[in-house]
Amino acid sequence: MLTYTPPSLHLHLHLHRYPHSTTISSSLHHHPNHPTTTAPDPVLRIHNSKTTSFLHHRQPASTTTNETKNPPQEYENDHHRHRDSEGKPKTPPHILPPQEKQNILEMSLVTKRGPQFPGSIYANSLPSLQSVIQTQNEDDEDDEEVMIRRALDIRRKVTAEVFKAAMKKGKFGITYSTNLVNRLPDFIDHVMIEAAALKRSPEFKDSTFNLRAKLVIDHSNVVPLIRWLKHNNLSYPKIAKLICMSKGNLDSIRRLVEWLKTVYVKGEFLGATLLKSGDDILHRRLEELDEIVDYLESNGVRRDWIGFVISRCPRLLSYSIEEVKTRVDFYLNMGMNENDFGTMVFDYPGVLGYFTLEEMNQKVNYLKEFGLSTEDVGKLLAFRPQLMGCSIEERWKPLVKYLYYLGISRDGMRRMLTIKPMIFCFNFETTIAPKVQFFRDIGVREDAIGNMLVKFPPLLTYSLHKKIQPVVIYLMTKAGVTEKDIGKVVALGPELLGCNIAKTLEVNVKYFLSLGIRVRQLGEMIGDFPKLLRYKVDLLYPKYQYLRRTMVRPLQDVIEFPRFFSYSLEERIIPRHKIMVENRVNFKLRYMLACTDEEFNQRVADKVERRQRFESGRMDDAVSDSRMAEGTLGKTASSSLSS
């Protein structure tokens, strides 16, 4: 950027650099009625009388005349004028310092003259750029290269200012225009080159560079394009990068944006889709892109899903149609149908475009090592395609090693993989290991942790601080589970940790307490049967009513055997109770329900037989007892008589 120098400083610098010259200029021209003053050196632009008299007073005519007659001779004869205070030679006046050369270069390249006002002084006697270059050493190529680079930098600055002016005319703010232009170095160079090329045309031969740069910018319609892209929710960094990617062909941006809208790409994703689709996306034919979309639609990806898929996986547009077909066939050959494939691509679009075919084959082969067939892997990927985004070395192998350390076999891992494949997408150090350590801390035995995880794999997907810990705290504070039994409860019923406290646990706890069960007793019931708190109250109430009113059983029977609520009322409790009534036998709830039908029938038969045996044995005992009583009475009577 050019710096503004005050007029007084211009005059001071001019007189200091060129003491033999009295040529000055003013923004005021000669007035026709103003008398001219005769001077040895002509004054091109005369100021007011006070300024002129002050100048001649400071520089007398005799001194000026003598100094201007033969400056080189005086310079050669005057030793002190060529030496500084320390006696070192001074720089000759015709060799300019680098900073002064830079100032002269900037003044020569700028097409606009700085603002003038009445009374200002402008030093117009500075040497031209050509004279400065001619006075330098022609053999110094490095200095010439530096000057050329500086000239190009100044041209870039001038082009950037012209571009900002066009942006301002297009109703853009100064800050927005500055931020955008600073990110457009390639486009600024393009405008600069095109403007320089226009000078070859006869009609622009005598035009200024600013005018030619403005014509190039207006002809490219870049300002309306920026307004349109901004209207489509593109930020200025994305707009700048797109303009640089176009390499001057700005119509390709509008053409591709319009095509993306036809395939339902939303405005907020237009910029990211264009920038991540590859450097050559702006130069691809729309027919090729339409062919890719039609092929995906024919294989189960619905038309209204295409926009979502492309916006999440823009790299898909950079592939040829042959590459897309190869990737689609990779999944279809694993037994997927069109519906499964379309759903998989919609759930995780990156599964189709982010990985090489070699990586995809390696991951499929690794999953087969758990004992899965190709069709099983296809079903697994259709259900959880995020597995394809996991690294074998960084994610799967460390997790498998950790699970093996917990005592989980390959069959157990296969069960975990098929039931909850998302586990193999986790980082075990940050997600799984803290939960396992928490289970150890609450008293779950080491050999039971692996079985618990295999039994209920979704447990590892729950949040430790938002789900698992709050449930454990509630069981110990509100449900009466002791610290000694909490590890047992979690090991036997890990599903309990997935229950909602407000909607499930708290409702069940209040119901059992309303029956007259104490908190301590409820804790013992949960320790014996953790699944007790997972049932809905609507299913518990009919069973309890039947127990109390029909079976006429005390509440203590339920406290001793809480599994009573796990059996079906219609299929097990009522039929077996009727059999007991018909056979006039009675069992505890544990022996009544916790057995198969064959075992129950056998128990009833044994009970009936014992009862019958007891009844027959009781009659025999009654006869023998009467005989014994008669004999005892006879002995008593005889003894009394003898006495």
Structural domain for 590, as ranges? 551-611
φ/ψ (deg, to 5) at 143: -65, -35
The answer to whether 445 and 490 are in contact (CB under 8 A) is no
- Separation between Cα atoms, residue 588 and residue 596, nearest integer Å: 15
Residues pairing with 83 in the sheet: 89
Beta bridge partners of 89: 83
Domain membership flag for residue 455: no
Total number of domains in the chain: 1
Q: Is residue 93 included in any domain, yes or no?
A: no
Q: What does the chain come to in residues?
A: 643
Residue 577 lies in a domain: yes
pLDDT, residue 542, reads 93
Has residue 481 been placed in a domain? no
Region of 480 (left: φ > 0; alpha: ψ -120 to 50; beta: rest) is: left
Find out whether 362 and 320 touch, Cβ atoms under 8 Å. Answer: no
Residue 247, by phi and psi: left (phi above 0), alpha (psi -120 to 50) or beta?
Answer: left
Domain assignment present for 192: no
**pLDDT score, position 102:** 62
Q: What pLDDT was estimated at residue 511?
A: 93
Q: What is the pLDDT of residues 158-211, one digit of tens each?
A: 888 998 999 888 888 899 989 989 988 888 888 888 888 888 888 888 888 888
**pLDDT for position 471:** 94
Question: For residue 389, which of 349, 429, 433 has the smallest C-alpha distance?
Answer: 349
Nearest to 212 by CA among 239, 193, 236: 193
Distances from the Cα of 293 to the Cα of 156, 250, 385, angstroms: 42, 24, 21
The structure's pTM equals 0.64
- Does residue 516 form part of some domain? no
Quote the pLDDT of residue 268. Answer: 77
Parts of the chain with a pLDDT under 70: 1-142, 618-643
Cβ proximity of 20 and 67 under 8 Å: yes
The C-alpha angle 288, 291, 293, rounded to 5 degrees, equals 115
Q: Looking at residue 236, what is its pLDDT?
A: 86
Tokens of 583: 């056979």
Give the residue among 459, 453, 463 at the shortest CA–CA distance from 415. 453
In a domain, 110, yes or no: no
**Number of Cβ within a 10 Å radius of residue 130:** 9
At 366 the pLDDT is 92
Residue 444 and residue 452 in contact, taking contact as beta carbons nearer than 8 Å:
yes
Rounded CA gap, 8 and 122, in Å? 9
The whole-number pLDDT of residue 272 equals 81
Contacts of 461-464 with C-beta under 8 Å, sequence gap 24+, read 461/420, 461/422, 461/423, 462/435, 462/497, 462/498, 464/434, 464/435, 464/438
CA atoms within 13 A on the CB side of 572: 18
Q: What is the residue-wise DSSP string for 412-459?
A: HHHHHHHH-GGGGGS-IIIIIHHHHHHHHHTT--HHHHHHHHHH-GGG
User: How distant, in Å, are the alpha carbons of 99, 131, 149, 154, 593 from that of 142?
Assistant: 16, 19, 11, 18, 102
Give the pair of three-digit tokens for residue 210: 């600013």
- Asked if 452 and 494 count as a contact pair (C-beta separation under 8 A), the reply is yes
Examine residue 176 and state whether it is found in any structural domain, yes or no. Answer: no
Backbone φ, ψ for residue 485 (5° rounding) = -95, -10
Give Cα 525 to chain centroid, integer Å: 47
Contact 247, 190 (CB under 8 A): yes
